[in-house]
Amino acid sequence: MPPKSNSECKVVAQWMPVEEEKLVKFLHSHCAEATDGTGNFKPQTYNHLPAANAAYRMPGTPVKTPLQCKNKWRAVGHTFFAQYFQRYCTSGKHWDNDNSAVIVGTDAGQVWDEYTKTHKSLHPYRNWGWLLFDMISEIMPSGVASSHHAFDASAPSMST
């Protein structure tokens, strides 16, 4: 197989928090366009995202492509599901938007550090919440708890 040329290099999009927030808000306002109730959107929805987010991009960076927006949404979804299971399906662990992971003491810190070795998307949220969680949970409501036969009376309804 011939080596890739420099012209085939993929550009990795850099996202500012405000861009991520606007992406989620845009998709939240278009959640009726989700194709199957799991947060997957039609290609046309992703095609509208670059223009909607253009005003919030980092200075000097190109406008995001629809594919970059779709990939960012997938990454946000992975973070959401990791946090969902941390909140509602993992015994002995806690996390919420107000108190984050409530890491107090070295033992709790070691448990968190070990846990985030395999759940890397949670690592940044050790000491603060993720304000997009509730909005994303409204976009992806189907089957989260029932697919893993998890029950938590304090968990939001995730009906299928």
pLDDT digits (tens, 9 = 90+) for 59-79: 877 889 999 999 999 999 888
C-beta of residue 141 within 8 angstroms of C-beta of residue 37: yes
User: 17 pLDDT exceeds 70?
Assistant: yes
pLDDT of 151 reads 44
Mind listing the pLDDT tens digit for each residue in 88-115?
666 566 666 666 666 777 877 787 788 7
Cα(2)–Cα(140) distance, integer angstroms = 41
Ordered alpha helix ranges (H), the chain: 17-29, 43-53, 66-88, 105-118, 133-139
pTM comes to 0.70
Averaged pLDDT of the chain: 75
